[in-house]
Amino acid sequence: MKLCMSLILLVFVLFVVSLLVGPAELRVEDSIAGLFAGGSEAAAIIMREIRLPRALLGLAIGMSLGLSGAVLQGFLRNPLAEPGVIGVSSMAALGAVLVFYSGLAGSSLYALPAGALIGALLAILVLLAIAARQGSTLTLILAGVALSSLAGALTALVLNLSPNPFASYEIIFWLLGSLKDRSMEHVALALPLMAAGWFLIALSARAIDALSLGEEAASSLGISMSLTRFLIVAGVALCVGAATAVTGTIGFIGLVIPHLIRPLTNRMPSSLLLPAGLGGAALLLAADIAARIVLPAGELNVGVLTALIGAPFFLWLVVRARREML
């Protein structure tokens, strides 16, 4: 597993760089001291309460998005399947926005993942129903486009209707996510859910391999389709729901990474899972570092960067998918 080892190394390096980048411009030795030594000096607070949760979330959310993309592509035998493209992320954002801004749960942060999970779950169930009836690549993508536009519009509507005038400024956050100013509370909120999602997705590894041969052959190889569907729907909903709840919609990671990594593997869907997760973590960490460097004070939304990389890539894939089926 040379590939995994080098990816782990890359993720580690980016994680460390992510800890060292920030507007406070701490010196490297102060950063390290702040992270490990105790105390309540500014450096310690910045490292432990601001930069560490940010790097942890970048790692875990990138991992979740990479894994979700890889498992969805394997499950649907569709190289364009990705939580952002097919509208799962935007539905998760809508769910979070509906529950949070309505104030149903007071102003508790727990409202966010609850709503996002429901939104993601609904989206996947709708898409699977559509994809199951008509297996074509295009159908799924078109359904995803419809779902994302609807969810995006409704998100904007809900935020505009909020009695709090500041809410409408947060449309951008939900449509193009950001890791800015997250805290350990967000890590505690999202990480357990994402870890559960990783576990469920890992359990589906055999099934997505067998599904390379189609559903009937897979089922004849001892794969329970209903169990597999449950594992993947729940796993992706947990990953994407929890990720979107704390960072808004971050698109294209689950699309770009599996494609970059697949040629480096034997292309068996299961052997793509771990490298795609690690690759996703590396990409999101790198994008988040770039977001802080490009505009140090104002800070770019990281979703803008992933879209800038991902959207042209997606176009290229669409053009290529016409010529050769992967």
Partner 1 sequence: MDLHADNLSVTLANRHVISDIGFKIKPGVLVGVLGPNGAGKSTLMRALNGQLSVKGDIRFGEHDLAVIGPAARARLVAYLPQQRTIGWRLTVRDLVALGRLPWRAFGQRASARDEAAIERAMEMADIASLSPRIATELSGGEQARVLMARAIAQETPLLIADEPASGLDAAHQIMLMRSLKGLAAEGKTVLVSLHDLTLAARWCDEVMLLNEGNLAALGSPETVLSDENLARIYGVTAHRAQDGNGLIIAPVGLTETAPTS
Partner 2 sequence: MPKRRKCLPCLSGLALLAGALLVAPVSAAPKRVMSLNLCTDQLAMTLAGPDQLVSVSFLAREPGLSMLHEEARSYPANHGLAEEVFLENPDLVVTGTYSLHNTTALLKRLGFHVEEFSFAQTLETIPGEVRRMGALIGQEKRAQAIADDFTRELETIAAGQCGKDPTMIAYDQNGIASGRGTLADSVMQAAGFANLAADMGVIGVAPFPLEQVIAAHPDVISIGAPQKAPTLGEFVTRHPAIGALPDTRIGAFVPEASLSCGIPSVIEAVRALAALRTEIAPCHGNAAQ
268 near partner 1 (CB under 8 A): yes
Partner that binds at residue 264, options partner 1, partner 2, none, CB closer than 5 to 8 Å by kind: none
Degrees (nearest 5) of the Cα angle 8, 12, 13? 120
Q: Which is nearer to partner 2, 180 or 229 (CB)?
A: 180
Q: Which is nearer to partner 1, 228 or 244 (CB)?
A: 228
* Residues numbered 241-260 forming contacts with partner 1, rule: CB under 8 A: none
Is residue 38 near partner 2 by the rule CB under 8 A? no
DSSP letters along 22-33, please?
STT---HHHHHH
Q: Can you tell me the distance from the alpha carbon of 141 to that of 84, in angstroms, rounded to the nearest whole number? A: 11
| Cβ(295)–Cβ(238) below 8 Å | no
Locate all alpha helices (DSSP H) within 134-204, ordered by sequence: 137-161, 171-175, 184-203
Q: Which of 169, 220, 224, 312 binds partner 2 (CB under 8 A)?
A: 169
Distance separating alpha carbons of residues 276 and 71, to the nearest angstrom: 9
Residue 212 to residue 200: CA distance in whole angstroms: 19
Q: Is 100 in the site for partner 2 (CB under 8 A)?
A: yes
Among residues 3, 33, 35, 45, the one that binds partner 2 under rule CB under 8 A: 45
Beta carbon nearer to partner 2, 42 or 146 = 42
Binding residue (CB under 8 A) for partner 2 from 75, 101, 252, 314: 101
Instruction: Give the separation between CA 210 and CA 221, rounded to whole angstroms.
Output: 7
- Shortest gap between Cβ of 272 and partner 1 (angstroms)? 9
* Contact window for partner 2 (CB under 8 A) among 39-47, 190-198, 218-226, 271-279: 39-47
Binding partner selected for residue 163 from partner 1, partner 2, none, CB under the kind-specific 5 to 8 Å limit: partner 2
Burial of 181 (0-12, 13-18, 19+ CB in 10 A): exposed
Report the largest interatomic distance among the alpha carbons of the chain, rounded to a whole angstrom.
Answer: 62
Site string for partner 1, 204-243 (x = CB under 8 A): -xx--xxxxxx-xx-xxxxxx-------------------
Measured CA angle at 283 (ends 281, 289), to 5 deg: 100
Which residues have a Cβ under 8 Å from the Cβ of 47 and sit 6 or more positions away? 19, 26, 31, 34, 35
The contacts of residue 55 (CB under 8 Å, 6+ apart) are 15, 18, 19, 285
Q: 122 is written with which tokens?
A: 């609904």
Q: How far is the CB of 221 from partner 1 (least distance, A)?
A: 5
For residues 179-208, which are near partner 1 according to CB under 8 A?
203, 205-206
185-224: which residues touch partner 2 (CB under 8 A)? 185
Residues 68-87 that bind partner 1 (CB under 8 A): 74, 77
Contact 261, 4 (CB under 8 A): no
Footprint of partner 2 (CB under 8 A): 22-24, 26, 40, 42, 45-46, 49-51, 100-101, 103, 106-107, 109, 162-164, 166-167, 169-170, 173, 180-181, 183-185, 296-299
Footprint of partner 1 (CB under 8 A): 74, 77, 203, 205-206, 209-214, 216-217, 219-224, 262, 266-269, 325-326
